[in-house]
A and B are shown apart, each in its own frame.
Chain A
């Protein structure tokens, strides 16, 4: 369980990162951020990059600031940075609550928000957050910079729309209005395991009715996404248990469930129903 040999490159600036990508991607190069997914895969020799472009020393990539109406998260901001709220208001509390569900403490000290998105594991909590809140992702390469909407970014199981020579330099999450309510619930076999299903919901209330409902589901399909069928049931209705049950049912029916040897589509839908309802129930606490 030792990785195949590779050359490690340690750029100090973003320009050096993109230059290194241009040079080494054709030679089977990859970005190394927190390494909490890539390094184990390398140890199993399921990944054998010849070059690693280690971005941990790059100046400025640890930037975590409010920039206008969004939160800007640099490429090497660790999960653990979100343990305490990083912004006032619901977004900071939401990120803090979710961060505590990511794996285990040592992993959270090393793994990165952007790395999770770029890795695009369907069970990733941050992918669910990005999909539910509508993140914008900043990709950089020698060809320049582009902004990718999260729905265009996440393409499937461990698959994104990043070009080979691009790296995810920054993620931008919209700040949430102060009256935003949220709820998160995930199901896993053990504490800290990959989620078998997770749901993040946000909405606001106008005259007692739900507006701008976002219902995100992760871990159940090939990528995290919002479920419009569930949101349609919630919008313009007053929060109520029956409503939550109906929205959860809609979410369960809407998904194209991941299956494996232990987990049938039917069971995955059971979980989606449960996590969605519980996320909604928690939103009222």
Chain B
């Protein structure tokens, strides 16, 4: 760890200052979409059938109902990839003749209140001729299966393949080959706040303001305007306080398009608040993957080749803007993870089914591929008769930069070091003794490790490699000091719980010598913030932080130049701190607020040498950086019932320079909790007809505080050269490593039974079934 001093040296970066956004949130002053009043309330009539043809839609006479026939002028949502044999399928705003998943919106009823709209929606009679539903990814690939979209032959919507040169020779030289058949069941990100939208038409300007729970306000504006066919100037999108997104609120909701269209048609305000059932069945799902993974090892336990066949069940439609390729293609690109292996063979397919569309969810694919490869490593360790950590020691990358078999460049990291910290912190030898003693008493304790990389903060070149028609990347920050001396940073990122108002203020504060409390970060409003991509992919601190730093450096340079004029001193003798410009080595100074006044009101004193005003723009588009971590879980399995208790959880991670340790810890805590839910509890279940059985939070089970142990966190700070702030992203790592660590711990606990639990969530039913099949129960 290196001490760091930048800018004025006031060192706000690195301190756990309290979050500037919290006072409003914890005193009930947060502003959420569903708080807004509206003239009309919308209730969607949703399909109760997974697959079929709509034969009739009947509403009471005079009822206010919108159906696909009213929306003929709207384009479907049709995101595009130019690579990987992607088939661009369209999603209508309301089902148009065909339904493709249970919960798909068929009609929109509107009335003067939520209750009346729901009453009205209830009276809409939809007759659907049911056809065969495809629910399971692998089954949708069976020859002769019905097609979800006629244009996607074999139901394959995207397919990526790679086979490194000389793969077969390496494979043939293997000493041992280990195999994992990894199955990750479907999840819902289940944010605390479900989706909500409110569209208000302004008769004076003809503009609509869409307030909604989005992670991407500008992309929402672009998409909605493209679909409806209006200039972007006619739509303002606001993301107010948003109660968690986790990726689910990154993808475009058809519901928001309908709201904007209806507000224009009615020349009024219309609103929709998603209920929990709608969220669970018809907001976006995630994680549904089947990975057949094989690893070839040499006699020394070194992984020499990896081979995988990946099937991602992407549901009925492709999400905008990333496309459904995000799951299978990220699996293809990042499966080798932090291991030093160069021979790689992989096929990754996205498969259409009659299920809710999949979209990114915290971790995106990596919780699943990490689970698969970490199971492989543990199986290999068992086959070689060594500790899982020793096998990892022989395989983790330790020379940087490292180039993966897919050509990804890994910057400096601490893959081995974080694991050694974890081993020491849990005292692995002592645990092994404790485990033995417990076993003699009929108690089954296990320890599991997961070592992984987290690709974060990547810019447009990385996204362009996927061939996305819409290629995200850069971020822009507009930084202004107003005449009163207050600082406003307008950003294109769109935080929704990540604490970015605080961390960006810390970065800016260090550069211009102003306390963060005087720095206001403005986001989530297309009228007030510059075009940007929003918040996703562990990017915002790196991208928006980098852009903030660049803008702040420019402001700093301008302030010094102004101070040089006003103090009649050479610029190199001036420093900024504590809200003033100081002449080094003297007691002469001038307040930044005074200079700010001058920048607007006394510009003549600069004799035309300094532009009026105090606004600078920073734009940042980095190559990307890899964070890394080792997660360690200690569990106890109740073999009579199959229940798992997570007794201890430890994270040793490295996300570069930590801007605010408290906020960083919070990100890890939340991610780990979701990862434990992934490993043990959360599962969206369809029956074979495509009816969804987990439509309440009594059936779909996120963990509560009672299921999450106290977490022990250790940070290393490798100051990466790949970002200008030296920070890496860490928003997703908690969710990426935890599932694998927990599942490995379960398998370690059950090693004497010779079973392998390779399916998530590892429910008590599945664990007990595996134990029974072992034939070794008493």
| Mutual binders A and B | yes
Asked if A209 CB lies within 8 Å of chain B CBs, one says: no
CB atoms of A261 and B640 under 8 A apart = no
CB atoms of A262 and B685 under 8 A apart = yes
Question: Which residues 224-280 of A sit at the B interface, judged by CB distance below 8 A?
Answer: 261-264, 266-267, 270-271, 273-274, 277
Known: A4-B119, A5-B119, A262-B685. A44 touches B277 (CB 8 A): yes
Residues of B near A5 (CB, < 8 A) are: 115, 119
Task: Give the shortest distance, in Å, between B563 (CB) and chain A (any CB).
Answer: 59
Known: A270-B641, A273-B640. A2 touches B118 (CB 8 A): yes
In Å, the complex CA distance between A227 and B768 comes to 24
Which has the most chain B C-beta neighbours within 10 Å: A2, A193, A264, A277? Answer: A2
CB atoms of A1 and B275 under 8 A apart = yes
CB atoms of B641 and A274 under 8 A apart = yes
In Å, the complex CA distance between A191 and B114 comes to 33
Give which listed residue, A4, A190, A273, contacts B706 with CB less than 8 A.
A190
Which has the most chain A C-beta neighbours within 10 Å: B640, B642, B643, B693? Answer: B640
CB atoms of B704 and A191 under 8 A apart = yes
**Nearest B residue to A277 by beta-carbon distance?**
B640
Given contacts A187-B643, A191-B704, A273-B640, 8 further A-B contacts (CB under 8 A): A1-B118, A2-B115, A2-B118, A4-B119, A189-B701, A191-B707, A261-B687, A274-B640
Query: A-facing mask of B661-677, CB < 8 A → 1, else 0?
Result: 00000000000000000
CB atoms of B641 and A2 under 8 A apart = no
16 contacts between A and B (CB under 8 A): A2-B114, A4-B119, A5-B115, A5-B119, A40-B696, A44-B277, A187-B643, A189-B763, A190-B703, A191-B704, A194-B698, A261-B687, A262-B685, A267-B642, A271-B641, A274-B638
Give which listed residue, A187, A261, A264, contacts B641 with CB less than 8 A.
A187
Residues of A near B5 (CB, < 8 A) are: none
Task: Give the shortest distance, in Å, between A173 (CB) and chain B (any CB).
Answer: 28
A-B pair count, CB < 8 Å, reads 61
CB atoms of A192 and B706 under 8 A apart = yes
Query: B-facing mask of A2-26, CB < 8 A → 1, else 0?
Result: 1011000000000000000000000
CB atoms of A263 and B641 under 8 A apart = no
CB atoms of A189 and B764 under 8 A apart = yes
CB atoms of B707 and A264 under 8 A apart = no
Which has the most chain A C-beta neighbours within 10 Å: B114, B643, B681, B685? Answer: B643
Asked if A146 CB lies within 8 Å of chain B CBs, one says: no
In Å, the complex CA distance between A187 and B763 comes to 13
CB atoms of B701 and A45 under 8 A apart = no
Residues of A near B693 (CB, < 8 A) are: 261
Asked if B584 CB lies within 8 Å of chain A CBs, one says: no
In Å, the complex CA distance between A5 and B116 comes to 9
Asked if B769 CB lies within 8 Å of chain A CBs, one says: yes
Residues of B near A274 (CB, < 8 A) are: 638, 640-641
Give which listed residue, B277, B638, B763, B769, contacts A1 with CB less than 8 A.
B277
Residues of A near B642 (CB, < 8 A) are: 267, 270
Residues of A near B114 (CB, < 8 A) are: 2
Query: A-facing mask of B633-644, CB < 8 A → 1, else 0?
Result: 000001011110
Task: Give the shortest distance, in Å, between A61 (CB) and chain B (any CB).
Answer: 28
Give which listed residue, B119, B685, B704, B772, contacts A261 with CB less than 8 A.
B685
Residues of B near A40 (CB, < 8 A) are: 696
Interface residues on A, range: 20 to 34
In Å, the complex CA distance between A40 and B698 comes to 11
Task: Give the shortest distance, in Å, between A18 (CB) and chain B (any CB).
Answer: 31
Known: A2-B115, A273-B640. A262 touches B763 (CB 8 A): yes
In Å, the complex CA distance between A40 and B277 comes to 12
Task: Give the shortest distance, in Å, between A121 (CB) and chain B (any CB).
Answer: 11
In Å, the complex CA distance between A201 and B671 comes to 41
In Å, the complex CA distance between A194 and B697 comes to 12
Task: Give the shortest distance, in Å, between B668 (CB) and chain A (any CB).
Answer: 22
Task: Give the shortest distance, in Å, between A204 (CB) and chain B (any CB).
Answer: 27
Residues of A near B698 (CB, < 8 A) are: 193-194
Asked if B125 CB lies within 8 Å of chain A CBs, one says: no
Known: A262-B763, A263-B765. A270 touches B119 (CB 8 A): no
Query: A-facing mask of B740-765, CB < 8 A → 1, else 0?
Result: 00000000000000000000000111
CB atoms of A193 and B701 under 8 A apart = yes
**Nearest A residue to B114 by beta-carbon distance?**
A2
> What 6 A-B pairs come out closest when comparing CB atoms?
A1-B275, A191-B706, A274-B640, A2-B115, A274-B641, A2-B118
Asked if B122 CB lies within 8 Å of chain A CBs, one says: yes
**Nearest A residue to B777 by beta-carbon distance?**
A270
Asked if B276 CB lies within 8 Å of chain A CBs, one says: yes
CB atoms of B704 and A192 under 8 A apart = yes
CB atoms of B765 and A4 under 8 A apart = no
Residues of B near A45 (CB, < 8 A) are: 118, 122
Task: Give the shortest distance, in Å, between A189 (CB) and chain B (any CB).
Answer: 6
**Nearest A residue to B640 by beta-carbon distance?**
A274
Residues of A near B275 (CB, < 8 A) are: 1
Residues of B near A194 (CB, < 8 A) are: 698
Query: A-facing mask of B25-38, CB < 8 A → 1, else 0?
Result: 00000000000000
Residues of B near A262 (CB, < 8 A) are: 685, 763, 765
Question: Which residues 80-125 of B sit at the A interface, judged by CB distance below 8 A?
Answer: 114-115, 118-119, 122
Known: A2-B115, A4-B119, A5-B119. A190 touches B707 (CB 8 A): yes
In Å, the complex CA distance between A191 and B704 comes to 8
Residues of B near A277 (CB, < 8 A) are: 640
Query: B-facing mask of A192-219, CB < 8 A → 1, else 0?
Result: 1110000000000000000000000000
In Å, the complex CA distance between A259 and B706 comes to 27
In Å, the complex CA distance between A86 and B738 comes to 44
Task: Give the shortest distance, in Å, between A221 (CB) and chain B (any CB).
Answer: 18
Question: Which residues 217-249 of B sit at the A interface, judged by CB distance below 8 A?
Answer: none
Task: Give the shortest distance, in Å, between A94 (CB) and chain B (any CB).
Answer: 23
In Å, the complex CA distance between A271 and B639 comes to 11
**Nearest A residue to B707 by beta-carbon distance?**
A190
Residues of A near B703 (CB, < 8 A) are: 190
Question: Which residues 36-80 of A sit at the B interface, judged by CB distance below 8 A?
Answer: 40, 44-45
In Å, the complex CA distance between A128 and B643 comes to 22
Query: B-facing mask of A122-139, CB < 8 A → 1, else 0?
Result: 000000000000000000
Known: A2-B115, A193-B698, A263-B765. A270 touches B640 (CB 8 A): yes
CB atoms of A270 and B768 under 8 A apart = yes
Residues of B near A264 (CB, < 8 A) are: 765, 769
Task: Give the shortest distance, in Å, between B223 (CB) and chain A (any CB).
Answer: 27
Residues of B near A190 (CB, < 8 A) are: 681, 701, 703-704, 706-707
Question: Which residues 234-287 of B sit at the A interface, judged by CB distance below 8 A?
Answer: 275-277
In Å, the complex CA distance between A187 and B764 comes to 10
Query: A-facing mask of B694-726, CB < 8 A → 1, else 0?
Result: 001010010110110000000000000000000
Question: Which residues 672-693 of B sit at the A interface, judged by CB distance below 8 A?
Answer: 681, 685, 687, 693
Residues of B near A261 (CB, < 8 A) are: 685, 687, 693
**Nearest A residue to B688 by beta-carbon distance?**
A261
In Å, the complex CA distance between A238 and B693 comes to 46
**Nearest A residue to B778 by beta-carbon distance?**
A245
Which has the most chain A C-beta neighbours within 10 Å: B275, B641, B704, B768? Answer: B641
**Nearest B residue to A43 by beta-carbon distance?**
B275
Task: Give the shortest distance, in Å, between A228 (CB) and chain B (any CB).
Answer: 24
Residues of A near B768 (CB, < 8 A) are: 267, 270
In Å, the complex CA distance between A40 and B695 comes to 13
In Å, the complex CA distance between A1 and B118 comes to 8
Residues of B near A191 (CB, < 8 A) are: 704, 706-707
In Å, the complex CA distance between A200 and B698 comes to 24
In Å, the complex CA distance between A187 and B638 comes to 11
In Å, the complex CA distance between A277 and B640 comes to 10
**Nearest B residue to A262 by beta-carbon distance?**
B765
Which has the most chain A C-beta neighbours within 10 Å: B276, B643, B765, B772? Answer: B765
**Nearest A residue to B273 by beta-carbon distance?**
A1
Task: Give the shortest distance, in Å, between B66 (CB) and chain A (any CB).
Answer: 20
CB atoms of B276 and A1 under 8 A apart = yes
In Å, the complex CA distance between A190 and B698 comes to 10
Which has the most chain B C-beta neighbours within 10 Å: A192, A193, A262? Answer: A262
